[in-house]
């Protein structure tokens, strides 16, 4: 065991070392003029800009605007997807009725719907929320349906043999049985939400991280652009850490073998 964990420690060290070395090379190359600092500003200057944007409140305001849209959109898209998915997973007729609609609309790139969403919901907050909601809806719906529909039949037999009512079957078997798949759907939805919030803020917003990146391109403050990218990357990382933790709490029967 000790051997194994020391290997794991070594792996982690190497994993940290690689990006640090690359950053060092980048810094040196930018300073010596080996690469064009207009396109690839030195990491130190990006960090400097990062600090400045925090200090003048610009980063905080944009981040809050994006987070608010993201949270609203996840709720507006995710909650109906969850309930519809559970219902479709349980009811065969409902699945037969709605599946074709889902299969037909799912492959449309959500970014391609943006003009239509702008047309319908205008340039206000609503259009951005709707874009995130659209992105969250499909993965959560599809994973929930799959999770419920793929529950091992023997568990349903147990439920029927112990005379569980429909509601009891739902609460004690369908929902917990589908939970791992639902969590996977929520993770996919989160990633999709980040992509869509960046795109829609670039096209149709006056604040938010997406707007900040687009504006930086227009006024050619490349440092700010990199700060925006860094923030989005950090958001993705933080969300995945949080969701992993939520998963551990919600699905305690997975992965804690004695």
Which residues of this protein are in contact with another protein, per CB under 8 A? 154-155, 157-165, 168, 172-173, 176-177, 179, 251-254, 256-258
Output the smallest distance, CB 220 to another protein, in A: 54
- For residue 139, which of 94, 191, 175, 90 has the smallest C-alpha distance? 191
Task: Enter the tokens of residue 115.
Answer: 């003009």
- For residue 128, which of 212, 184, 216, 195 has the smallest C-alpha distance? 195
**C-alpha dist (Å) from residue 64 to 27, 60, 255:** 30, 6, 35
Output the smallest distance, CB 258 to another protein, in A: 4
Query: Helix crossing, 2-31 with 43-55: angle to 10°?
Result: 90
Looking at the Cβ atoms of 13 and 167, the one nearer to another protein is 167
What do you get for the CA distance between the two ends of the chain, in Å? 15
Looking at the Cβ atoms of 90 and 192, the one nearer to another protein is 90
Interatomic CA distance for residues 164 and 166, integer angstroms: 7
Looking at the Cβ atoms of 72 and 146, the one nearer to another protein is 146
Interatomic CA distance for residues 109 and 131, integer angstroms: 11
Output the smallest distance, CB 82 to another protein, in A: 17
60 contact partners, CB below 8 Å, separation of at least 6: 54
Output the smallest distance, CB 257 to another protein, in A: 6
Sign, CA torsion 19/21/27/32: negative
Looking at the Cβ atoms of 155 and 239, the one nearer to another protein is 155
Output the smallest distance, CB 164 to another protein, in A: 5
Interatomic CA distance for residues 235 and 67, integer angstroms: 9
Looking at the Cβ atoms of 164 and 203, the one nearer to another protein is 164
198 burial (CB, 10 Å; 0-12 / 13-18 / 19+) is: buried
Which 3 state secondary structure label does DSSP give 254? coil
Looking at the Cβ atoms of 12 and 248, the one nearer to another protein is 248
Output the smallest distance, CB 159 to another protein, in A: 8
Output the smallest distance, CB 242 to another protein, in A: 22
Looking at the Cβ atoms of 19 and 255, the one nearer to another protein is 255
């Amino acid at each position: 065991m000790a051997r194994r964990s020391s290997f794991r420690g070594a792996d982690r060290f190497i994993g940290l070392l690689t990006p640090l070395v690359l950053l060092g090379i980048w810094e040196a190359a930018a300073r010596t003029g080996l690469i064009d600092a207009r396109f690839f500003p030195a990491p130190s200057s990006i960090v400097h800009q990062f600090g400045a944007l925090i200090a003048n409140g610009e980063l905080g305001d944009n981040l809050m605007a994006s987070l608010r849209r993201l949270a609203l959109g996840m709720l507006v898209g995710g909650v109906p997807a969850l309930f519809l998915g559970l219902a479709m997973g349980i009811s065969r007729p409902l699945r037969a009725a709605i599946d074709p609609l889902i299969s037909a609309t799912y492959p449309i790139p959500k970014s391609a719907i943006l003009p239509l969403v702008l047309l319908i919901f205008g340039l206000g907050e609503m259009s951005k929320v709707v874009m995130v909601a659209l992105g969250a809806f499909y993965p959560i719906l599809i994973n929930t349906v799959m999770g419920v529909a793929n529950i091992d039949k023997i568990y349903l037999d147990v439920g029927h043999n112990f005379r569980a009512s429909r509601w009891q079957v739902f609460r004690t078997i369908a929902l917990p049985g589908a939970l791992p798949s639902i969590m996977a759907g929520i993770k996919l939805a989160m990633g999709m939400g980040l992509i869509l919030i960046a795109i829609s803020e670039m096209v149709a917003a006056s604040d938010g991280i997406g707007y900040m990146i687009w504006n930086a391109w227009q006024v050619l403050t490349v440092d700010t652009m990199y700060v925006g990218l860094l923030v989005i990357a950090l958001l993705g990382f933080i969300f995945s850490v949080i969701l992993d933790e939520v998963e551990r709490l919600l699905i305690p029967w997975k992965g804690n073998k004695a």
